[in-house]
C-alpha cells in the first residue's frame, strides 16, 4: 500500500468465525482475533460466545474490511454428492452453501463494511447463484467486480483457481472504478510464481523428521492390528474387478498428464520411498504408476498429487504449471520430488499451509494441531496471495477520503 498509494495501512483483526473446534484452537494462536465465534448464523444476533475467553461478547459492528468464503459443498464438482438446490442455493438459502451465504450476507447488511471480499470455487461464477450474489450485493449498496485468481499468478507455487467477488461501497467508488480495479490487478500479477523450493522444508528439519516418524509409527501399529486379526475372506470377484478397473483408470489419467522421470536419471527405489513415508500398499502402487507413466516433454514433475479417485485427479490435474504443486484440497497427498527436496516424500501439512501464504516459520515453535489437521486446514484455506492482491487492488482504487 505504501508503494502504491504513498499511505501505509495497519490492520486489526476484530472478528473470526470458524465452526471447527480444532481450527478455532489454531486461530487463537495464529490470528489472535478480538472475537472468535462459532456459527455464522449468529452474526446478527447482537451477542455470541467469544471462544477467546468463553464469555458472551457483543458482536463488532464496525468493520472496514469483511472477508468470507461461504461453503462450496453444494457447488463444487469435487464433492461426491449433488443436491436438488445446487443451482440456486444462494437464492433459496438451502444447504450449507445457502446457509453460510445467508448468515454472512445478513452481517453485511447490518455492518456495511467499506470493502467486502468473498471467495468460493469457480462454479460460484455460473448461473443463478452468480446472478443472485451480484444482485444481493448490489442491493446492499456495493459495486461488484468478479474475477478468477490463480495462486500461481499471485506469487504462490500452487495451481489453484478460485472465484473472488470484490465489493466496494458505492459512495467510495466512481463510474470507472471497475476498470481501474482490473488494471491494478493485472499490474500486480506475477508472470511466474516464487520457486517451490522456498516453501519446502529440508528433510533434515526437525518438523519433517517428527512427521515421518509419526507416520511410520502409525503404519507399524496398523500392521500389528492386521497380524492379530484372523485371515480375511477372499473378496468377491465383482469387487476385485471393480478395484482393478479403478487402477487402470488411474494409470490412464496419469499417462494423460504426461509424467515420466528424466531419461538417464536414477530415481530412488520405490520400496525405499514407500518405507520412508510409511505408505500403504495402494499408495506405493500409485507412486510406482506415477513414476513409470510416459511423458510428452520428458521433464520430471516437481510435485504429484495422489487423490483417492480418478475423477478427482482429472478435475484437479487437467492443467499443469511448471514449478507448481497441484490444487490443494482437504486431506491432499502431495509427493515432492528432487531437486525441490532432498528426497521423494509427502508434503507435510506445514508446507501445504505455506503454499496458501501462511509462513511455516510460525508453526515450527507452536505446534497447535496434528500435521494431518494442518493439511486439512490448508485445503480449505484462502490463498493469502490472491486475497492480498485483491485487497491491495481494491484499497488503491477506492475514494477513501470520502469515508465518514
CA-to-CA distance for 325 and 337, rounded, in angstroms? 11
| pLDDT score of 235 more than 70 | no
User: Is the same domain home to 362 and 272?
Assistant: yes
| pLDDT score of 246 more than 50 | no
Backbone angles phi, psi at 16, to 5 degrees: -135, 145
Give the rounded distance of the alpha carbon of 357 from its chain centre.
10
Look at 280 and 55; give whichever has higher pLDDT.
Answer: 55
The mean pLDDT value for 226-244 works out to 51
User: Is the same domain home to 69 and 92?
Assistant: yes
User: Is the same domain home to 209 and 320?
Assistant: yes
CATH number of the domain that residue 57 is part of: 3.40.50.150
Side-chain half-sphere exposure of 71, counting CA atoms within 13 A? 22
Side-chain half-sphere exposure of 17, counting CA atoms within 13 A? 19
User: Is the same domain home to 230 and 320?
Assistant: yes
Strand, helix or coil at 378? helix
Segment 107-123, tens digit of pLDDT:
999 999 999 999 999 98
pLDDT the model gives residue 165: 98
Number of separate domains in the chain: 2
Is there a contact between 306 and 346 (Cβ–Cβ < 8 Å)?
no
Is there a contact between 199 and 153 (Cβ–Cβ < 8 Å)?
no
Segment 292-351, tens digit of pLDDT:
655 444 444 455 555 433 323 323 333 456 667 878 888 777 777 665 666 678 888 899
User: Is the same domain home to 124 and 266?
Assistant: no
The mean pLDDT value for 206-231 works out to 77
pLDDT the model gives residue 85: 61
Does the pTM surpass 0.85? The reply is no
User: Is the same domain home to 210 and 127?
Assistant: no
User: Is the same domain home to 268 and 371?
Assistant: yes
Look at 218 and 79; give whichever has higher pLDDT.
Answer: 218
User: Is the same domain home to 135 and 173?
Assistant: yes
User: Is the same domain home to 352 and 398?
Assistant: no
User: Is the same domain home to 346 and 366?
Assistant: yes
User: Is the same domain home to 45 and 132?
Assistant: yes
User: Is the same domain home to 221 and 236?
Assistant: yes
Q: Helices 21-30 and 371-380 meet at what angle, rounded to 10? A: 90
Strand, helix or coil at 314? helix
| pLDDT score of 21 more than 60 | yes
| pLDDT score of 390 more than 80 | yes
For the ranges 47-56, 92-101, 192-201, 349-358, the maximum mean pLDDT occurs at 47-56
Give the range among 175-184, 275-284, 286-295, 315-324 with minimum mean pLDDT. Answer: 315-324
Domain boundaries, position 94? 2-195+383-402
What is the percent of the chain where pLDDT is above 90?
Answer: 40
CA-to-CA distance for 331 and 74, rounded, in angstroms? 19
- Categorize the per-residue pLDDT at 182 as very low, low, confident or very high, splitting at 50, 70 and 90: very high
Q: What is the DSSP letter of 262?
A: P
Amino acid at each position: 500500500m505504501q508503494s502504491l498509494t504513498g499511505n501505509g495501512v495497519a490492520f486489526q483483526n476484530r472478528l473470526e468465525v470458524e465452526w471447527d473446534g480444532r481450527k478455532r484452537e489454531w486461530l487463537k494462536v495464529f490470528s489472535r482475533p478480538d472475537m472468535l465465534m462459532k456459527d455464522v448464523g449468529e452474526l446478527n444476533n447482537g451477542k455470541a460466545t467469544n471462544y477467546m475467553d468463553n464469555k458472551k461478547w457483543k458482536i463488532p459492528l464496525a468493520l472496514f474490511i469483511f472477508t468470507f468464503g461461504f461453503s462450496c459443498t453444494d457447488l463444487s464438482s469435487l464433492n461426491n454428492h449433488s443436491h436438488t438446490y445446487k443451482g440456486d442455493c444462494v437464492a433459496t438459502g438451502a444447504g450449507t452453501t445457502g446457509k453460510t451465504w445467508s448468515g454472512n450476507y445478513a452481517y453485511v447488511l447490518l455492518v456495511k463494511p467499506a470493502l467486502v471480499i468473498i471467495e468460493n470455487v469457480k462454479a460460484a461464477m455460473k448461473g443463478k447463484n452468480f446472478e443472485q450474489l451480484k444482485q444481493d450485493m448490489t442491493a446492499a449498496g456495493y459495486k461488484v467486480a468478479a474475477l478468477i485468481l490463480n495462486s500461481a499468478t499471485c506469487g504462490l507455487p500452487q495451481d489453484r483457481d478460485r472465484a473472488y467477488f470484490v465489493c466496494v461501497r458505492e459512495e467510495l467508488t466512481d463510474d470507472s472504478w471497475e476498470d481501474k480495479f482490473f488494471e491494478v490487478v493485472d499490474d500486480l500479477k506475477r508472470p511466474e510464481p516464487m520457486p517451490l523450493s522456498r516453501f519446502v522444508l529440508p528433510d533434515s528439519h526437525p518438523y519433517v523428521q517428527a512427521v515421518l516418524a509419526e507416520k511410520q509409527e502409525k503404519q507399524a501399529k496398523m500392521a500389528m492390528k492386521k497380524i492379530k486379526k484372523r485371515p480375511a475372506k477372499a473378496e468377491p470377484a465383482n469387487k476385485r474387478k471393480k478395484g482393478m478397473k479403478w487402477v487402470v483408470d488411474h494409470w490412464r489419467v496419469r499417462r494423460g498428464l504426461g509424467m515420466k522421470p528424466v531419461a538417464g536419471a536414477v530415481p530412488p527405489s520405490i520400496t525405499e520411498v514407500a518405507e520412508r513415508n510409511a505408505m500403504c500398499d495402494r499408495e506405493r502402487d500409485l507412486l510406482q504408476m506415477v513414476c513409470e507413466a510416459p511423458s510428452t516433454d520428458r521433464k520430471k514433475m516437481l510435485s504429484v498429487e495422489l487423490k483417492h479417485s480418478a475423477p478427482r485427479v482429472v478435475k484437479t490435474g487437467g492443467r499443469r504449471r511448471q514449478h507448481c504443486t497441484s490444487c490443494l484440497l482437504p486431506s491432499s497427498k502431495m509427493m515432492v520430488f528432487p531437486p525441490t527436496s532432498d528426497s521423494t516424500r509427502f508434503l507435510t501439512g506445514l508446507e501445504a499451509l505455506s503454499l496458501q501464504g501462511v509462513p511455516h516459520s510460525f508453526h515450527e515453535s507452536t505446534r497447535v494441531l496434528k500435521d494431518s489437521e494442518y493439511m486439512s486446514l490448508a485445503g480449505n484455506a484462502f490463498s493469502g496471495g490472491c486475497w492480498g492482491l485483491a485487497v491491495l487492488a481494491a484499497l488503491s482504487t477506492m475514494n477513501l477520503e470520502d469515508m465518514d
